[in-house]
Amino acid sequence: MGIKLTLIRQPTVPLEAEVLCPDTLADCSADEIAQLTIYHGKRQLPLSDFFEIEGEKSDEIEIHGDLKKVRWIGRGMSRGRLKIQGDVGMHLGAYMRDGLIEVKGDAGDWIGAEMKKGTIRIDGNAGGQIGAAYRGSRRGMRGGLIHVTGSAGLEVGMRMRRGIIVIGGSTRDFTGLQMKGGTILLGEGAEIRTGAWMNRGTIISLKALEVMPTFGIAIRQFTPPFMPLLAKALVSEGITLPENKSFDLYNGDLAVPGRGELLVLSS
């Protein structure tokens, strides 16, 4: 049996709870879990002050409640499964090393920031800086998959190096900013400055979007040979790509100068 945590009162200021992570909880008895430290603003409190706890010693964890103000859940997790019912706050799965996070609800900024491996699935909308590099870091996510069914915010995949980000809806500005590798798939396009200053990597948009003036058109009506492979890889994640579509391929960002690829579904 897994562990089930339910939020029993709303935090009035952000609640930082990096202990809500399979790596930490898996070895804890119910009493130990209740005594884990969380930070309500500057106050250090036991987890049981905010959560009702059922179960113990498991890396299968379910968390219920409106967790919008709860940050750092699943920080650096390397195994197991986190299921979240409800909205969740910033830094979900940051520095993740493996395992699975599933959210039924919306997520905040910085989910999967600088993650290395594992999967994050958001059945809802998410904030900005998904899979991004923290300020000043040279690299964002280095592997793994982030799938957001809804829309997302600014700087999605900023400086990512490897791995895949799939956004079902649309994203805001600077998607793939300074990207160094990996793949971003955009179901409903993006606002502006997509792929700005990218060096390498691939951004695929299934809807027309505004292309930066420093991207050159390489080929129109192009069927990328890797699409079937990508489609196959994503099927197991429950993502289906449209088949036999052709794309316009742009290269950039010339300002760097970079060799990134921006594929936009041909109209």
Q: Which of 61, 35, 63 is nearest to 49 (CA)?
A: 35
Q: Name the residue nearer to another protein (CB basis): 25 or 230.
A: 25
Number of residues that bind another protein (CB under 8 A): 48
Contact set for another protein, span 110-129 (CB under 8 A): 110, 114, 128-129
Residues 267, 58: Cα–Cα separation, whole Å: 50
Of positions 196, 198, 227, 241, contacts another protein by CB under 8 A: 196
Least gap, CB of 206 to another protein (angstroms): 24
Whether the CB-CB separation of 229 and 183 falls below 8 Å is answered with: no
Binding mask 4-43 for another protein (x = CB under 8 A): --------xxx-x-x--x-xx------------x-x-xx-
Least gap, CB of 41 to another protein (angstroms): 6
> Is 137 a residue that touches another protein (CB under 8 A)?
yes
Q: Name the residue nearer to another protein (CB basis): 168 or 181.
A: 181
> Is 73 a residue that touches another protein (CB under 8 A)?
no
Q: Which of 55, 54, 53, 85 is nearest to 70 (CA)?
A: 85
> Is 50 a residue that touches another protein (CB under 8 A)?
no
Least gap, CB of 23 to another protein (angstroms): 5
> Is 251 a residue that touches another protein (CB under 8 A)?
no
Residue with tokens 């520095």: 95
Least gap, CB of 198 to another protein (angstroms): 11
Residues 62, 70: Cα–Cα separation, whole Å: 14
> Is 253 a residue that touches another protein (CB under 8 A)?
yes
Total H helices, total E strands in the chain: 3, 17
User: Which residues fall within 8 angstroms of residue 86, CB to CB, at 6 or more apart?
Assistant: 7, 63, 64, 65, 66, 67, 104, 105
∠ CA 132-18-38, nearest 5°, is 140
Contact set for another protein, span 173-192 (CB under 8 A): 173-174, 177-178, 192
> Is 138 a residue that touches another protein (CB under 8 A)?
yes
Residues 219, 254: Cα–Cα separation, whole Å: 16
Least gap, CB of 235 to another protein (angstroms): 32
> Is 135 a residue that touches another protein (CB under 8 A)?
yes
Whether the CB-CB separation of 204 and 234 falls below 8 Å is answered with: no
Least gap, CB of 76 to another protein (angstroms): 4
Mind giving me the DSSP string for 154-192?
SSTTTT--EEEEEESS-B-S-TTTT--SSEEEESS-BSS
∠ CA 89-66-6, nearest 5°, is 110
Q: Which residues bind another protein (CB under 8 A)?
A: 12-14, 16, 18, 21, 23-24, 37, 39, 41-42, 44, 69, 72, 75-78, 90, 95, 109-110, 114, 128-129, 134-138, 173-174, 177-178, 192-193, 196-197, 212-214, 216, 253-257
